[in-house]
Structure 1
Amino acid sequence: MIYLDNAATTFPKPESVYKALDSYARNSLANPGRAGHKMALASEHTLADGRHRLNQFFNGKGPERFIFTLNCTDALNMAIKGVLKPGDHVITSDMEHNSMSRPLRALELAGVIEWTRIPSDGQGSIDPQTVAKAITPKTRLVGISHGSNVVGTTQPIEEIGKITREKNVLFLVDAAQTAGVLPIDVQAANIDLMALPGHKGLFAPTGVGVLYVAPGVHVNPWREGGTGGDSSSETQPKDYPYFLEGGTPNVLGVAGLIAGLQWVQEQGLKKIHQHEVELVERLWKHLDEIGQFTIVGHRDMSRRVGTLSFFTEALPAAEIGGILDQAFDIAIRPGLHCAPYIHKAFKSYPDGLVRVSPGPFNTEADIDLLAGALKEILA
């Protein structure tokens, strides 16, 4: 199979990740504990090692501020429901994933919060000044996806973070599409909360994510339970990261995350990003030549990640995806991509778009074969 659905989950993983997972599962997979036997201590060390690496990679304010979660959705829910109070006002954009939008919409419908979705321009970009103008005295949180999972557009989080810091508003960044692809400095961007998955740009297996919580930001616990150390407290221990990590974490996933992060650092973010956007540009040129496709989003490769979405009046997106899968053994992602507000903004709702998202292991030949298949389908 030619796999071009890396915006959903990267595949394949680097060989070093597979080896790390196999070795860890066979030799070290115990319940982490700070006062247990050797294997328990080894598992605890793996968690600590992962936090230190993440803290260095994202320039955090302490390894204990990196909370291991189930995935990016889990991290976003923890952040949103952990900081908002009745009467708060929240600002997002129409470029958000359902993992950001659905929790907020549920709170809005319940009468807990007020919610403003600022519009993007015709190419998927958000004007930071539009964010500034939307802030009110009740605004508690601004939540922005760093990179769109549909059109690939990246947002100026440094400029938005400067505004939120000046206005004393919390800044939440959804880094699902950019962590491991673009540099992110949480201090330089004034990020208070950042959610990211392990299974995308950091090449971990599914089932592990991260929530960064800056010092001074209080997040109520999403779950409460065992912490592997303090068993005497009647409520969740207040020290980080255990305050937000009730229950047994996915230590195997963290071991894979460490191996994936090491691989990303060896390759370099610039190399990974350049390779992916060059493949996107190659596909874009093919589609221009075919001439029957409409592509959404802008073409400035310095302001996007390696994701390209398009449609044709000839066939619905879902049908194109099915034909590519069944007849050509090419995996792409058709539909609404868990982001209905984006599709409404681009007038592609409810049928959706064809999304192609190459990764580091894809080649120019993969893109050429996809283009040939699309041309044949239309013919």
Structure 2
Amino acid sequence: MEYIYLDQAASSFPKPKKVAEAMTEAVLKYGANPGRGGHQLAQKADEVIYQTRVKLAKMFGAKHPNEVIFYQNATMALNQAIKGITFKEGEHVITTEFEHNSVRRPLEAIKKEKNISITYVKPNENWLISVEKIEEAIQENTKAIIVSHGSNVTGAIAPLTEIGQLAKKNGILLIVDASQTAGVLPIDMEKYGVDLLAFAGHKGLLGPQGTGALIVRESIELVPLMHGGTGSHSESVEQPEQRPARFESGTLNTPGIAGLSAGIDEVKRIGINEIFEHEWKLTKTCIERLQKLSGVTVYGPLKEVRLGVIPFAIEGIDAQEVAMILDEHYKIAVRAGLHCSPMSHQAIGTLESGGTIRVSFGPYNTEEDVDRFVVAIEEITSAFI
């Protein structure tokens, strides 16, 4: 029986073959230190990294490739975005109850250190974050709005255009976590008014783990979290002012970035709109079939278009047990628990029960995958209920 991977919200799999080939080439043919030498191999590594910046800048509407800063993952990118802001004591931040711990924990750390205040906006009755609720939360001292473009728990999509207009109107920084939407939904920082955009490379962009990025508008000043060797201005005791070196101390993950470049190419080849439509079709079919099963509760927006992420619970059965049965007996990979976002589960009422089972789709999943999954859930519910 072929294994079915339905945990795409955690990390996309399988990766395109060209991703592995690009990483292998980097290791075997030009595995030198980028930006740390004038020889041909170092220059080749540096060029591959720069061209990946170019691709990402173009994909997300950044004005210059040097606004693209590489990190190990979206968590590091979000930490740089949030902790790099010079907060004054008493300033205010608006975020949502759908945020990942990669947003919540750095914010709470700053709250303790700088005594800032935080408003966590609740979803409305349709499990969506509304612009009206964010607008109501704005105060005179609001410094930033931080929002997940797409929830990793419910699949709810935030109205980024309207939030961007609201932030610009009020002179507030807009930081967006696009971990679930980069490579799945079109994002234009200029059009949406996004000041800082963080995302993972190993999810919708189909790149390898260990890759992520933060795109920072040129006008935004951030304090770098890391200080060290950047391959340039070595004579200075101060961190260089030039980007991206200012935020990229230490050796970059050249093989990973080469793989990410190949993943971006694959996303462009398929088409972002086509990827979303494919995932939405699978999601819609899966939700409709799950809702027909006795004892199954599906959470998140049920009438609106959403990402390919479905949290659900089966009455009387622990979510972790269902995931284990699916893995061991049906060879289907899903994720159960709180998904690093306890506030999301508190919002949908599943925190005390330990969370939900989450199924999530990618561009290579099929209708046959959905069919096998739903049949497995039907058999599990029949056996337990």
Alignment pair present for 1:377 and 2:380: yes
Which residue pairs with 2:351 in the alignment?
A: 349
Pick one of 151, 155, 159 that aligns with 2:154.
Answer: 151
Alignment pair present for 1:230 and 2:233: yes
Pick one of 317, 320, 323 that aligns with 1:318.
Answer: 320
Which residue pairs with 1:259 in the alignment?
A: 262
Q: CA RMSD in A?
A: 1.2
Which residue pairs with 2:50 in the alignment?
A: 48
1:129-165 deviation per Cα after TM superposition (whole angstroms, max 9, x unaligned): 2212211121111000000001101000110011111
Query: Percent identity at matched positions?
Result: 40
Cα contact 2:294–2:381 (8 A) shared by 1: no
Question: TM (normalized to structure 1)?
Answer: 0.97
Amino acid paired to 2:338: L
Q: Tell me by how many angstroms 1:229 deviates.
A: 2.3
Q: Tell me by how many angstroms 1:291 deviates.
A: 2.8
1:11-31 deviation per Cα after TM superposition (whole angstroms, max 9, x unaligned): 000111111111221111111
Distance 1:227 1:56 in 2: 25
Cα contact 2:178–2:197 (8 A) shared by 1: yes
Extract unaligned runs of 5+ from structure 1.
Answer: none
Q: Tell me by how many angstroms 1:252 deviates.
A: 1.1
Which residue pairs with 2:92 in the alignment?
A: 89
1:30-66 deviation per Cα after TM superposition (whole angstroms, max 9, x unaligned): 1112652111111111111011111111111111000
Pick one of 69, 73, 76 that aligns with 1:74.
Answer: 76
Which residue pairs with 1:335 in the alignment?
A: 337
Distance 1:189 1:16 in 2: 32
Number of residue pairs matched?
378
Question: TM (normalized to structure 2)?
Answer: 0.96
Extract unaligned runs of 5+ from structure 2.
Answer: none
Cα contact 2:99–2:151 (8 A) shared by 1: yes
Q: Tell me by how many angstroms 1:188 deviates.
A: 0.5
Greater shift in the superposed pair: 293-302 or 186-195: 293-302
Amino acid paired to 1:146: H
Cα contact 1:53–1:258 (8 A) shared by 2: yes
SS at match of 2:283: helix
Distance 2:233 2:277 in 1: 46
Q: How does 1:187-198 map to 2 (within 5 A)?
A: 187-198=190-201
Distance 1:328 1:288 in 2: 21
1:221-256 deviation per Cα after TM superposition (whole angstroms, max 9, x unaligned): 010111122211111110111111111111111101
Distance 1:252 1:174 in 2: 24
Distance 1:238 1:206 in 2: 29
Amino acid paired to 2:174: F
Distance 2:290 2:160 in 1: 31
Alignment pair present for 1:142 and 2:145: yes
Q: Tell me by how many angstroms 1:127 deviates.
A: 1.3
Which residue pairs with 1:274 in the alignment?
A: 277
